[in-house]
Amino acid sequence: MRVLGNFVKARETGILLALLIVIVVATVKNPSFLFSSDGFRDLLLTPSILLLLAVGQAIVIITRNVDLSVGSVLGLTAYLTGRLFIDVPGIPIPVVFLAGIVFGGLLGLVNGALVAFAKVPALVITLGTLYAYRGINVLWTGSDRINASDMPKDFLGLGTSSLLYIPWLTIIAIIVLVAAGWFLRTQRAGRELYAIGSDPAAANLYGLKVTQRVLVAFVLSGALAGLAGVLYAARYGTVNSQAGVNLELQAVGAAVIGGVAIFGGSGTVWGAAIGAFLLLTINRALPIVGVQDFWQRAVVGVLIIGAIVLDRVLARRQARKLVEMRDES
């Protein structure tokens, strides 16, 4: 009963419900949205890369920071992936994955170090690195482009093929999601990320290692963006200097829609993952329902604002109720 009660009250439940409604409505309108092999595959495949970014973003936002550079990190690692296959013939696929993750982690380390040591708000720092990393990408790539023919078939297969109807990309994303969820829920370091975001001053008084933990959050976000970059190359087969542009905003949007409080301290990666699914599924469902292109973007905006307003309203209502109770007693 208790588990059921918690499920009903959880912030994530509403988002999950919204996602299910979108799927049901779109399927009623056009059954192939869900009940064709392509439809089912797209449903899972489309949000998988964004899911990775949203998980990383959620970890950073929980610490009362934000990482706007993830789109650019994805772009750089996607191009690095292609270059590795071209410049090092016969390079094993796991090594490419590792290279992407490590490189992304290093870019995240730069973000984290600037935020943690220079004491400049993450919004400013990562807005800076968003452009800086993209600039490096343009300088490095030029007008060059990685094509599907440059990469091995096995690698490209990862981006499109499935295991028991579940796309590999989705399987990887779910594994990462479960690991991140486990870390945030059961590890001291994970709980301390929440504590830091909830009240940084109190975290200092508690003697928590605030600087170190924030650094780790940015490295994780960077590493996940790196992994997403490798998978981007596998999924789309072509990579130019504009890969991943604007994805950072979708990642922030997914996290916020999924109930990760923008001021830190609360929310889960599960919510962010459902947010990513909702964001991209709604994009695919709206044309089917017959909504025009302009309105599709507006709907996403309404979702984001609605999620934030809902958070504030709920928080204020709770605070007011408790204050009134206290005054009466």
Interface residues with another protein (CB under 8 A)?
A: 186-188, 191-192, 194-195, 197-199, 201-203, 205-208, 261, 265-266, 315, 318-319, 321-324, 326-327, 329
In 63-143, which residue ranges form alpha helices assigned H by DSSP? Answer: 70-87, 93-118, 122-141
Q: Centre a 10 Å sphere on the Cβ of residue 84 and count the other Cβ atoms it contains.
A: 17
Q: Which amino acid, 41?
A: R
* Choice between 293 and 327, CB closer to another protein: 327
Tell me the chain's radius of gyration from C-alpha atoms. Answer: 20
**For the CA atoms of 200, 206, 210, 214, what is the dihedral angle to 10 degrees?**
-70
Q: Which amino acid is at 306?
A: G
CB of 208 to another protein, least distance (A): 5
**CB-nearer residue toward another protein: 197 or 271:** 197
Between residues 143 and 329, which has the closer beta carbon with respect to another protein? 329
Q: Which two tokens stand for residue 86?
A: 């071209």
Q: Tokens in use for 253?
A: 């949007």
Closest distance to another protein from the beta carbon of 18 (Å): 23
In the complex, the smallest distance separating the C-beta of residue 260 from another protein, rounded to whole angstroms, is 11
**Least Å from the CB of residue 98 to another protein:** 23
Torsion, CA 309, CA 312, CA 317, CA 319, rounded to 10: 180
In the bound state with another protein, the residue whose beta carbon lies nearer, of 12 and 192, is 192
119 or 326: whose CB is closer to another protein? 326
Q: Which residues, in sequence order, are CB contacts of 308 under 8 Å at separation 6+?
A: 256, 262
- Shortest distance in whole angstroms from residue 316 CB to another protein: 11
